[in-house]
Structure 1
Amino acid sequence: MRLLCSLLLASSLFAHAMEFPSLNDAKRIRGELVSVDFILRKGEFRADDGSLVPFSMPPYAIMKYKGVEADLREVPLGTKMTFLMLPGSQLITTDDGQPADAAQLKKFREFTENRGVAGWIDKTEGNTVTVTFFSADPTAFQAAYGEVLALGKEGKLCVANDELRTWNPGVDGERCTITEVNKVPSEYFGSSGVQVTVKVSNMLEGFRRGRVVRVFLGGWKVQDQFYGESLMGYGFGRMLNQELVENVARDYPEQFPFRTDFSNEKLPWYQLKDDLKPPPFAEHTVFGQLLQVDGKNGTGQFLFELTGETANFRLIKHHTLKFLGADPQFAQLPTGQRYRFHVFQDEKGAFTRVSFISDDFSHASANAITARITAVHGDQIRVAWQLPLVKDYNGDMQRPQDIGACILCVSDATRVWKADQQVKLADLKEGDALLFNRTAELPGKPSVCTDLWIGEETHKLVTEKQRKPAVARK
Structure 2
Amino acid sequence: MRRLIERNALTKLVLAVCTLLSVSTLRGEEPFRPSPDNQFPPLEEAKAYRGELVFVDHINRRGSLRLHVDGHYHEGQLHHFAMLPYGEIFYRGAPADLRDIPIGTVLYGRFYLPPDPKTSAVPNANGNNVTAPRENHAILLEDGPSLCLREGKAWKLKEVNFRGGEGELVASLERPEGGDGLGGEHKFTIDSSTRIWRGRELLGLNDLVADGTWPTNGSKQLDGQAVQLALGWHPRYLYQQFHVADIWLDEAAMKVATERQRGVHIHHIHTRWMPARVETINYGKFGHATVTATLFGGMDESLYADFKPGISAKMAAAENTLRTWWQDHDGMDGKIVAVEKIEENPPLGSSGIQIQFEVPLILEGFRPGRVARIRPQNWPNVKPPMEECVRNQDDRWPSPEIFQKR
Question: Under a length normalisation based on structure 2, what TM-score does the superposition of the two structures give?
Answer: 0.53
Mapping of residues 44-83 of structure 1, within 5 Å: 44-49=64-69, 50=73, 51=76, 52-83=78-109
Residue 403 (structure 1) aligns with: none
Q: Hey, what's the Cα distance between the residues in 1 that align with 2:365 and 2:326? A: 13
Does 2:294 correspond to 1:132?
yes
Matched AA of 1:230: C
Contact 1:43 1:54 in 2 (8 A): yes
Does 2:188 correspond to 1:26?
no
**Which stretch of the first structure deviates more once superposed, 182-191 or 222-231?**
182-191
Residue 160 (structure 1) aligns with: 318
Structure 2: 5+ residue stretches without partners: 1-34, 115-135, 150-254, 284-288
RMSD: 2.3
Structure 2 counterpart SS, 1:151: coil
Residue 112 (structure 1) aligns with: 269
Deviations 1:84-125 (A, max 9, x none): 211231011123231460110111111011011101100111
Contact 1:21 1:188 in 2 (8 A): yes
- Structure 1's 248 and 75: CA in aligned 2 closer, same or farther, altered over 3 A? closer
- Structure 1's 29 and 228: CA in aligned 2 closer, same or farther, altered over 3 A? same
Contact 1:16 1:211 in 2 (8 A): no
Out of 135, 140, 144, the residue aligned to residue 93 of structure 1 is 140
Report how far residue 17 of structure 1 moved.
3.0
Matched AA of 2:44: N
Matched AA of 1:246: Q
Q: Hey, what's the Cα distance between the residues in 2 that align with 1:37 and 1:164? A: 13
Q: Hey, what's the Cα distance between the residues in 1 that align with 2:292 and 2:59? A: 26
Structure 1 counterpart SS, 2:332: strand
Out of 117, 121, 135, the residue aligned to residue 278 of structure 2 is 121
Contact 1:45 1:54 in 2 (8 A): yes
- Structure 1's 84 and 248: CA in aligned 2 closer, same or farther, altered over 3 A? closer
Report how far residue 22 of structure 1 moved.
2.8
Residue 431 (structure 1) aligns with: none
Structure 1: 5+ residue stretches without partners: 1-14, 233-244, 252-260, 263-284, 288-339, 341-439, 442-474
Structure 2 counterpart SS, 1:33: strand
Deviations 1:364-388 (A, max 9, x none): xxxxxxxxxxxxxxxxxxxxxxxxx
Q: Hey, what's the Cα distance between the residues in 1 that align with 2:372 and 2:104? A: 32
Q: Hey, what's the Cα distance between the residues in 1 that align with 2:110 and 2:388? A: 25
Contact 2:63 2:82 in 1 (8 A): yes
Matched AA of 1:72: L
Deviations 1:273-321 (A, max 9, x none): xxxxxxxxxxxx697xxxxxxxxxxxxxxxxxxxxxxxxxxxxxxxxxx
Out of 359, 372, 388, the residue aligned to residue 229 of structure 1 is 388
Structure 2 counterpart SS, 1:123: strand
- Structure 1's 74 and 154: CA in aligned 2 closer, same or farther, altered over 3 A? same
Q: Hey, what's the Cα distance between the residues in 1 that align with 2:315 and 2:142? A: 31
Deviations 1:211-235 (A, max 9, x none): 1110111211111110211124xxx
Report how far residue 159 of structure 1 moved.
0.9
Mapping of residues 343-354 of structure 1, within 5 Å: none
Contact 2:37 2:370 in 1 (8 A): no
Contact 2:308 2:336 in 1 (8 A): yes
Deviations 1:372-413 (A, max 9, x none): xxxxxxxxxxxxxxxxxxxxxxxxxxxxxxxxxxxxxxxxxx
The structure with the largest helix share of the pair is: 2
Compare CA radii of gyration and give the structure with the larger one: 2
Q: Hey, what's the Cα distance between the residues in 2 that align with 1:202 and 1:22? A: 35
Does 2:351 correspond to 1:192?
yes
- Structure 1's 30 and 144: CA in aligned 2 closer, same or farther, altered over 3 A? same
